[in-house]
Amino acid sequence: MQATQENPSADAVRHTVNIELGERSYPIVIGAGLLGHAQTYAGLPKAHAAMVVTNSTVAPLYADTVCAALSAHYPHVGRVVLPDGEAHKDWTTLNLIFDALLSGASDRKTVLFALGGGVVGDMTGFAAACYMRGVPFVQLPTTLLSQVDSSVGGKTAINHPLGKNMIGAFYQPQRVVCDLDSLKTLPTRELSAGLAEVIKYGPIADMVFFDWIEGHLPALLAREPAALAHAVRRSCEIKAHVVGQDEREGGLRAILNFGHTFGHAIEAGMGYGAWLHGEAVGCGMVMAAHLSQRLGLVDEAFVARLTRLVQAAGLPVRGPALGADRYIELMGHDKKAEGGEIRFVVIDGPGRASMRPAPDALVREVLARCCD
């Protein structure tokens, strides 16, 4: 899918990538200086009230700016500040959003704005899907990971102690606004975590992009605006193309979970928040590449190349020593498992991916090879 370029603003060139889902279609707007401009929010559903959902880290940085811009469109703008971190992606924290909506007498036209990373986006989207059986929401992702992945495509969820994102809904936003300036305040560890989801798109869909990431990794780590803009834009184009063909993950969309079966097991096994999601996915991609090689789908050179890039991005390439039995138990709770059979996204060849089961013996070989 091709992105369309809008007229340059005073701050930067803006790009729009469209998610084509019929009546649920929406734009992903990418540029600098977007959060604080009232025009960014023009054309959204009309309502008496808006509610900004953010967290304790992001709120001091951007909440006042966003609320001021929204006040040009909504007579009442409220906010709810959640505790930060994956460990709080649960029922207790979700209820804080409902408490704020109900105490503020929010009606079914109230628009929610998810200002933060993937946790805030997932929880706000799930709350929007549930409150009064559905109210509109807008994604304002402030991390690289959320801009290139979690804010796009309508997956919303909270975690359960037995599995990540196991309780949720498909619910599409009205718009996604990726303000590249928000990446300037991102901690280095979070930047690397986001790069995992950027790297993912190469092996599953576009090896030309993979080549570009290899060549521009120093620029990405240095947060050069042009490099970040291209990484976000191309990642969103690939995800938009996939989601447009398979909104509810009936087939093709599963390839976006490359590295996630192993990665989700790491997150659950270590305790949510010990590893960042992108760290677990980066390591999980290395594991999935080894599995692909053992299935005879890619060669050792490809595995080594992917491993070098993941490591150069500042991500772990060896998993924690949970034990093979524990990994397999946790992966059995993965959403892609069917009839008790664990299924993995594997690389059929550079730039192509599919989902398939793997013999237990091969999975154990991978875990022995890739874990401390």
| Catalytic residue IDs | 133, 155, 197, 239, 249, 253, 257, 260, 264, 277
- Residue found by looking up tokens 């009309």 in the block: 46
Rounded to the nearest 10 degrees, the angle between the axes of helix 118-130 and helix 91-103 is: 60
Is 155 known as a binding-site position? Answer: yes
Q: Is the separation of the CB atoms in 236 and 200 below 8 Å?
A: no
Q: Beta strand 4-5 with 352-357: parallel, antiparallel or unpaired?
A: unpaired
Is 129 known as a binding-site position? Answer: no
Is 134 known as a binding-site position? Answer: no
Is 184 known as a binding-site position? Answer: no
Is 259 known as a binding-site position? Answer: no
Is 47 known as a binding-site position? Answer: no
Is 242 known as a binding-site position? Answer: no
Is 142 known as a binding-site position? Answer: yes
Is 85 known as a binding-site position? Answer: yes
Is 119 known as a binding-site position? Answer: yes
Is 87 known as a binding-site position? Answer: yes
Phi, psi (degrees; rounded to nearest 5) at 263: -65, -45
Is 4 known as a binding-site position? Answer: no
Is 341 known as a binding-site position? Answer: no
Binding-site entries: 84-89, 118-122, 142-143, 155, 164, 197, 260, 277
Binding-site entries for Zn(2+): 197, 260, 277
Binding-site entries for NAD(+): 84-89, 118-122, 142-143, 155, 164
